[in-house]
Structure 1
Amino acid sequence: MRADTGSLTIFAGAVVMAPDGRILCQLRDDKPGIKFPGYWSASPGGHVEPNEHPRDAIVRELLEEFEARVTNLKELITITEAGQDMLGIYHAFSANLDMPVSEIRCHEGQRADFFDPSEALRLRLHPVSRKILLEFLSQKIRVR
Structure 2
Amino acid sequence: MEGPLGTAALIINSRGEYLLHLRDNIPGICDPGTWSLLGGGREGDEETPEAAITRELKEEVGLVLPGLKRYAVVPAHVADATDDLITVFLGRWDGAAETLPLTEGIMVRWFSASVIPRLVMCPWAQAVIERYEQGKGSCAE
Give the TM-score category using the shorter length: 0.7 to 0.9
Q: Percent identity?
A: 27
More strand, by proportion = 1
SS at match of 1:29: coil
Out of 113, 120, 128, which is 1:117 matched to? 113
**Alignment partner, residue 107 of structure 1:** 103
CA displacement 1:89-123 (0-9 Å, x = unmatched): 11001101265545322210111111113322331
**Alignment partner, residue 97 of structure 1:** 93
Counterpart residue identity of residue 72, structure 2: I
Q: CA deviation at 1:140?
A: 1.4
Q: 1:55 to 1:18 in 2, by over 3 A?
A: same
Counterpart residue identity of residue 110, structure 1: I
- Runs (5+) with no aligned partner, structure 1: none
CA distance in 1, matches of 2:65, 2:14: 11
CA distance in 2, matches of 1:135, 1:13: 15
**Alignment partner, residue 18 of structure 1:** 13
CA-atom RMSD, angstroms? Answer: 2.6
CA displacement 1:11-58 (0-9 Å, x = unmatched): 0001111233322101111112123211110x2100011211111111
Counterpart residue identity of residue 107, structure 2: R
Matches within 5 A, 1:37-52: 37-41=32-36, 43-50=37-44, 51-52=46-47
Aligned residues: 136
CA distance in 1, matches of 2:98, 2:33: 23
Partners of 1:18 and 1:101 within 8 A in 2? no
SS at match of 1:38: coil
- Runs (5+) with no aligned partner, structure 2: none
| TM-score under structure 1 length normalisation | 0.79
